[in-house]
């Protein structure tokens, strides 16, 4: 059997009882380590599981699927994913590959940022399409995600923005020379995401009172390490968010729709640094 097991969002103990029982009995256990991270490392997981874990980086998952699935017809193989197994399309592809090889698959679900974002008080059924914000470089500054945020905003829907992470990314020079040299890990912060949005707004629109668009004074919700003991939530304007430090990763950013339910406003107010400003931003 090939097991795809969600680990939840916090630390080693967020795995389900079912997931833990499966991990302990498997012949091989892989930990996917590039679409997201836990607040604890491989060593802590191995101590809690009482067994060794194989790190599955991007290269192995995308190019070495056959290695992961090797002998899964006769053995039990577990593939561990931070959050929920289907939070990334890569894992859907891995399940399809297993089924093509006639390998039986079992999925064990867990909490994901997609539903845990409800902790900020914005109602889950009022979210629109989720977007990913990539880290810009000097020569590469895509902004297509902005249009999706605006589409959600115009419909009165909130937008969950998942922020880019770079783990074991090859340097441009190493790609050209075909020699594997990797950049240090980088995790986008809410401040960086807000700054990129502000640059797009400046390029695309003139700030005004048009309710169909967002501006530097629009409401923003920053979240960090959701599900962990030191989780942080901060509510302020988009311009102020570009200067906020919420500490270590992982971060995500929410751009609320143009009008909030009174209960949403009340819940958000506990995370606002300036409640009067929040009241003003919400009108």
Determine the Cα–Cα distance for residues 80 and 83; give it in Å rounded to an integer.
Answer: 9
255 appears as a binding residue in the annotation: no
Provide the 3-class DSSP secondary structure of residue 252: strand
CA proximity to 5, closest of 24, 113, 51, 47 = 24
163 appears as a binding residue in the annotation: yes
Q: Say if CB 145 and CB 131 are below 8 A apart.
A: yes
Burial call 116-134: b when 16+ CB within 10 Å, e when fewer: bbeebbbeeebbbebbebb
Q: Using the 8-state DSSP alphabet, how is residue 127 labeled?
A: B
8 appears as a binding residue in the annotation: no
Q: Say if CB 167 and CB 41 are below 8 A apart.
A: no
214 appears as a binding residue in the annotation: no
38 appears as a binding residue in the annotation: no
251 appears as a binding residue in the annotation: yes
Q: Say if CB 97 and CB 65 are below 8 A apart.
A: yes
Provide the 3-class DSSP secondary structure of residue 227: coil
Q: The tokens of 97 are what?
A: 């590959």
Binding residues, by number, are: 9, 84, 87, 112-113, 163, 226, 251
Binding residues for S-adenosyl-L-methionine, by number, are: 9, 84, 87, 112-113, 163, 226, 251
């Amino acid at each position: 059997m090939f097991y795809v097991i969600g680990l939840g969002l916090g630390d080693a103990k967020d795995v389900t009882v079912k997931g833990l029982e499966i991990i302990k009995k498997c012949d091989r256990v892989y930990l996917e380590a590039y679409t997201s991270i836990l607040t604890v490392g491989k060593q802590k997981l191995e101590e809690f599981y009482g067994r060794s874990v194989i790190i599955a980086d991007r290269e192995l998952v995308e190019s070495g699927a056959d290695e992961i699935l090797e002998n899964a017809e006769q053995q039990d193989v577990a593939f561990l994913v931070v959050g929920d197994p289907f939070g990334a399309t890569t894992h859907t592809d891995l399940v399809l590959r297993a089924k093509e090889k006639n390998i039986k698959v079992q999925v064990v679900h867990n909490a994901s940022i997609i539903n845990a974002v409800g902790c900020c008080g914005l109602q889950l059924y009022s979210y629109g399409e989720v977007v990913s914000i990539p880290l810009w470089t000097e020569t590469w500054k895509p902004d297509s995600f902005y249009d999706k945020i605006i589409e959600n905003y115009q419909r009165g829907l909130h937008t969950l923005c998942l922020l880019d992470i770079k783990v074991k990314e090859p340097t441009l020079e190493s790609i050209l020379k075909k020699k594997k040299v990797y950049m240090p890990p980088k995790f986008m912060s809410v401040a960086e995401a807000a700054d990129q949005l502000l640059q797009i707004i400046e390029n695309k629109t003139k700030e005004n009172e048009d309710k169909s668009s967002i501006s530097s004074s629009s409401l923003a919700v920053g979240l960090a390490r959701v599900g962990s003991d030191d989780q942080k939530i901060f509510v302020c304007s988009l311009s102020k968010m570009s200067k906020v430090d919420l500490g270590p990763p992982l971060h995500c950013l929410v751009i609320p729709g143009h009008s909030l339910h009174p209960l949403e406003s009340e819940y958000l107010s506990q995370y606002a640094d300036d409640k009067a400003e929040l009241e003003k931003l919400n009108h």
